[in-house]
Amino acid sequence: MVRDFHHFKGNELTRSEQIQRAVVELLLNTNSITWELKHSSGCCQIGRILAQKRKLDVEIAEIACILHDICVIVEGKYEEHARRGAETAKRMLEESGDFNGDEIQLITEAIAHHSEKQIRTGKPYIELVKDADVFDCSLYENAQGFYVLHKPKDVYDEYVKRIKIVRKELGLGQNEVFREGK
Ligand SMILES: [Fe+2]
Ligand SMILES: [Fe+2]
C-alpha cells in the first residue's frame, strides 16, 4: 500500500520522527540555529546511509545521530557534551515511552562516547555516530581549519583517518579528505 508522506506535520509520526521533530523544535531556541539544524540533519542522513551499508538498524542509527549533540542544542556549550547529552537523550527517550531499555542503552552509549574519535570500540552504533559526525563535518567548505586550529594534532589525525575510511566505504575519492572552499 502506498501511504502519503506527512512531511513531519500532524500526529501520524513514528517514534523516531517524533524524536527528530523534538530535536528541531529544541534547536530553534539556540543561538546557533543554522549550524545545529544542518549538522544534526546531515549526521542523521549519513547515519541512515552508513547503517544500510553496515547492515545495522536504520532507526537506531538515525536517532543516535540526531541526538548526538543534544547537550549543545539544549545548553549551548560543548564541555562534556557527549556524556551529558547521553543523559538528556535518556530522559527524552524514557519520557516518550516508545523505547525499551536495550534500545535506550544502544542510543545513549553511542551519544556518550561520540567524542572519543581516537578510540575504536568495536561497538557498531558508537562507531557509526563517530563516523557520521566526522564525515558530515568534512563536507562543509573550509571546515578543516576548525580542526587544525582547535584540536590536538593526534586527534586531528584520527579525524582524517576516520573520514578516509568512510570515504572509502562510500566509494568516494581518496585524494580529498576535508572539502576545500572556493
Ligand atoms: Fe559532539
Ligand atoms: Fe557533532
CATH assignment at residue 129: 1.10.3210.10
The amino acid occupying position 170 is: L
- Considering every ligand atom, which ligand is closest to the CA of 78? 1
Ligand 1 centre distance from Cα of residue 5 (Å): 31
Instruction: List the grid coordinates of 121.
Output: 570500540
Under 8 Å between Cβ of 111 and 64: yes
Ligand 2 centre distance from Cα of residue 94 (Å): 23
128 within domain boundaries: yes
- Considering every ligand atom, which ligand is closest to the CA of 85? 1
Instruction: List the grid coordinates of 178.
Output: 576535508
- Considering every ligand atom, which ligand is closest to the CA of 137? 2
Which residue, among 129, 128, 131, 157, has the nearest Cα to 144 in the 3D structure? 157
Tell me which residues of the chain have a pLDDT lower than 50.
none
In the chain, how many H helices and how many E strands?
9, 0
Q: What is the pLDDT of residue 86?
A: 98
Ligand 1 centre distance from Cα of residue 79 (Å): 10
Q: 11 in helix, strand or coil?
A: coil
> What range does the domain containing 58 cover?
15-169
24 within domain boundaries: yes
DSSP labels, 16-84: HHHHHHHHHHHHTTSS-HHHHHHHHHHHHHHHHHHHHHTT--HHHHHHHHHHTTHHHHHHS--TTHHHH
143 within domain boundaries: yes
Rounded distance between C-alpha atoms, residue 90 and residue 87, angstroms: 5
Q: What is the pLDDT of residue 101?
A: 98
Residues with Cβ within 8 Å of residue 104, at least 6 apart in sequence: 90, 93, 94
1 within domain boundaries: no
Q: What is the pLDDT of residue 80?
A: 95
Cell 537506531, located at residue: 60
Under 8 Å between Cβ of 8 and 21: yes
Domain count, the chain: 1
Under 8 Å between Cβ of 41 and 27: no
Ligand 1 centre distance from Cα of residue 72 (Å): 8
22 within domain boundaries: yes
159 within domain boundaries: yes
Q: What is the pLDDT of residue 182?
A: 84
CB atoms near residue 83 (< 10 Å): 15
Q: What is the pLDDT of residue 156?
A: 92
Ligand 1 centre distance from Cα of residue 86 (Å): 11
8 within domain boundaries: no
Ligand 1 centre distance from Cα of residue 4 (Å): 34
Cell 580542526, located at residue: 147
Q: What is the pLDDT of residue 28?
A: 96
174 within domain boundaries: no
Neighbouring residues of the ion ligand 2, judged by CB less than 5 Å: 69, 133
Ligand 2 centre distance from Cα of residue 103 (Å): 21
- This prediction has a pTM of 0.96
Ligand 1 centre distance from Cα of residue 2 (Å): 37
- Considering every ligand atom, which ligand is closest to the CA of 39? 2
Instruction: List the grid coordinates of 181.
Output: 572552499
